[in-house]
Amino acid sequence: MNVTFSKAALPKTGAIVVPVFQGGNRTVGFRSLNKMTGGALERAAKVGDFSGKTGQQVELISPKGFENGSVLLLGAGKPGEMTLVNAHKLGARPVAKYFKSHEKALTFVLDGFTANDIATDELHAAIAYGARLRAYAFDVYRTTAKRSEMPSLKKISINSSEALEARKVFVDLDGIADGVFLARDLVSEPANILHPESYAERCKELESHGLKVEVLGEKAMAKLGMGSLLGVGQGSRKESKLVIMKWLGGDEAQKPVCFVGKGVCFDTGGISLKPGEGMWDMKWDMGGSAAVTGVMLALAKRKATANVVGIIGLVENMPDGDAQRPGDVVTSMSGQTIEVLNTDAEGRLVLADALTYTQEEFDPAVIVDLATLTGAIIIALAHEYAGCFSPDDELVSALTDAGKATGEEVWRMPLNKAHDDMIKSEIADMKNISGREGGSSTAAAFLKRFVKDGIPWAHIDIAGMAWAYKEKPLCAKGASGFGVRLLDEFVRANYED
């Protein structure tokens, strides 16, 4: 989507969006347009009982002076409640309305639109950012769709006296949006197209943006002793991969921030086969890895001044004659043994070796892993929050703050000795499942066993957030790209000058 910033006169065609705060205040842009249309905006507001409440809309079709276009009055809520997150949503709402309409261009009239606690250039850039995030569709494989079913919107413009300043702020946000879109693309792809081998190839392509990318195959992983990860993929014809992506934008002596992602490109459940109904959703069981890959692109695009490493374990969990069996015991890279009671609890097996590799190779300043790990987290938090597990209060606080700043919120969940006791095995060092109780916490306890004492670590379960089953403020139904903006803000706020 092409997003432009301009101080020039308004176009006479396309959709013109005028945000209006609740309480009667009219911006310079509103007053100017009202005069141009012979008072049509004020009349429409009165007739439409438009007060400026959040999300309220009144549309004027072909008013005087804009015979080939329309004007949309858009409620911005109370001035004192405007935040950057709310600005993102404000920018997204008109895109949701016009994205698949006949309109090709959308212009936001923002002269005089200000907020007390946000610099005006940042506010206007945030509106553009929200608009761009909403302007996404995955239509790669649609060949017979009707014109009305396909996106028509081609251009988003910000019209403001602060246009030049806002454009400078938007540059970094635009790069982050590219990372979000990459994550959405990866999650949206069908598993016959995106499998461990092809996924690794897409990661290698990111070297053109300045990332250093290394791919380990099964022979290399076997040499390292990654029996936990390799056991998950042994029933697939597609070779499992471990991908390491590096962005070294900080001081040479700076320990890296490490993000680890679960990349189960398709999860049948293995021998512990899932029910057929809904199994097609399991193409997005690599959502954690997509978030890690997306944030690595975002960091490279905005030239982040930090050292960050993204590690993703890529496997397929398939039920063929060589597949892992319930009751098998595998030896992880850490040397710890695992009794695999359920082959559908596979993501933690992938992450176990990825976590060990991360610590052995990079001496990380902090590790955050992301995974669509458990259905239990959806029972606990619905599709509103990702679950955050960590014994480190400061790290949880930093991730919570990053979630609030971006709207990708996390909720801290319990993790203690009782959960660790629940995964004790009678024949191995641990088992990969416990009972139904506390399923998300016991999964986190499993992962914690692979993190060395003294290393700050958090696990984020995004099972309820990677895919939107209904339209959300910043995305339509489908892949959300959740985690990219959260992790980017976490790095920006805590590891950059």
List residues with catalytic annotation.
Answer: 274, 348
Question: How far is 482 from 491, CA to CA, in rounded Å?
Answer: 16
35: left (phi over 0), alpha (psi -120 to 50) or beta: alpha
DSSP bridge partners of 58: 73
Question: How far is 87 from 130, CA to CA, in rounded Å?
Answer: 7
DSSP bridge partners of 69: 14
Give the 3-state DSSP-derived string for the chain, with helices as H, strands as E and coil as C.
CEEEEECCCCCCEEEEEEEECCCCCCCHHHHHHHHHCCCHHHHHHHHCCCCCCCCCEEEEECCCCCCEEEEEEEECCCHHHCCHHHHHHHHHHHHHHHCCCCCCEEEEECCCCCECCECHHHHHHHHHHHHHHHCCCCCCCCCCCCHHHCCCCCEEEEECCCHHHHHHHHHHHHHHHHHHHHHHHHHHCCCCCCCHHHHHHHHHHHHHHCCEEEEECHHHHHHHCCHHHHHHHCCCCCCCEEEEEEEECCCCCCCCEEEEEEEEEEECCCCCCCCCCCHHHHHHCCHHHHHHHHHHHHHHHCCCCCEEEEEEEEEEECCCCCCCCCCEEEECCCCCEEEECCCCCCHHHHHHHHHHHHHHHHCCCEEEEEECCCCHHHHHHCCCCEEEECCCHHHHHHHHHHHHHHCCCEEECCCCHHHHHCCCCCCCCEECCCCCCCHHHHHHHHHHCCCCCCCCEEEEECCCCCEECCCECCECCEECCCCHHHHHHHHHHHHCC
Residue written as token pair 């950012």:
129
Radius of gyration, CA atoms only, the chain? 24
Q: Residue 197 contacts by C-beta under 8 Å, 6 or more apart in sequence?
A: 238, 239, 241
